[in-house]
A = this chain, B = another copy of it.
Amino acid sequence: MRLATLRDGTRDGRLSLVRSDGARIADASRIARSLQAALDDWDDVEPRLREMDAELEAGRIVTDPLILHHMQAPLPRAYEWVDGSAYLNHVKLVRRARGADLPPSLEKDPLVYQGGSGVLLGPADDVRLADPLMGLDFEGEIAVILGDVPMGARADDAVKHVRLVTFVNDVTLRNLVSNELAKGFGFFQSKPATAFAPFVATPDELGGAWHDGRAWLQFKVWLNGRLVGDLETGPEMHFSFAQLLEHLALTRAFTAGTILGSGTVSNADVKRGISCLAERRMLEILSSPDRQAKTPFLRAGDRVAMEAFDVQGRSVFGRLEQKVIATG
């Protein structure tokens, strides 16, 4: 079952079911008015949504065409957005790029940061850039949406807390990162609003592509229409979502609708390309005689697209297509 949120003028949007071909959606707001409302009452709501989904697939209910720019983030405002950094190849490259040390506990103690969750962007929302010197970058990531998680939850129990899977574009202002992290309190201004894929899928919808607390998908990234990344999301995710969840829950509980990200998808094989510009820039610095990055950060008018495919070639979470606009 896949769900999406249709823009309807309310703060939380309207819950919709997505037809299996991804081309049409059906209004599910008579079951739960929003995705958050569904997550608040998941045990009761899920079976009713699945019944309606069967009706949808049987062609027995009214549908509307999916129009990407009518879709909001599945959760247009969420109670928490916690982002890991579980692809260690990315951590190594990006820290090398800004001359920062690798934490000695890198392979044992997950890196996570608390992101802003009050305003989340839809899959076709513009990325607003106040100043091109801030170094705007995209970051493709897998994310899960959790149910209620008690304090002290363990990795072994984590799978039952994962309600939905999707991907995000975790927009970053690279040139603000070093100064901000040097202050010691983590990211803030360097992390503008995160954008979301149009669909969220229940784990069973991924079939064999969901196991060991990871999504095993082919993740494609385009910049201005050109494919720049064709990555595998499964094998190099060092910490699983289950391990990340145990890390999160050590000292507090989480409410239904908390979003947990994998960190930037990254493969050690450079032929697979990138899901963020910082990695390509680092590789250019390392391989060029003058040790300069040639790839610029994003500028007004640039277009970023992302999509995640299963082995049958189906676009599991739909397509994200965003344009950068200047607001400065």
Annotate A96-129 by CB proximity to B: 1 below 8 A, 0 otherwise.
0000100101000101111111110000000010
Interface stretch of the complex, out of A159-167, A223-231, A251-259, A283-291: A251-259
Chain A residues touching B, majority SS: loop
Minimum Cβ distance to chain B for residue A205 (Å): 25
Contact partners of A176 in chain B: CB under 8 A: 251
- Give the nearest-CB partner of A193 in chain B: B252
With A118-B254, A152-B327 already in contact, the answer to whether A181 and B184 are too (CB < 8 A) is yes
* A238-256 at interface with B (beta carbon < 8 Å): 247-248, 250-255
Contact B186 A252 (CB under 8 A): no
Copies per assembly: 2
* A49-69 at interface with B (beta carbon < 8 Å): none
How many angstroms between the C-alpha atoms of A105 and B189 in the bound complex? Answer: 15
Contact A77 B79 (CB under 8 A): yes
Contact partners of A85 in chain B: CB under 8 A: 185
Contact partners of A11 in chain B: CB under 8 A: 40, 255
Contact partners of A100 in chain B: CB under 8 A: 184
Q: Size band of the A side of the interface?
A: 35 or more
Question: Interface centre among A11, A173, A182, by most B CB within 10 Å?
Answer: A11
Quick one: which of B78, B80, B82, B128 contacts A151, CB cutoff 8 A? B128
Contact B189 A186 (CB under 8 A): no
With A105-B183, A114-B114 already in contact, the answer to whether A192 and B252 are too (CB < 8 A) is yes
Which 5 residue pairs spanning A and B have beta carbons closest together? A186-B186, A118-B255, A79-B118, A113-B185, A114-B114
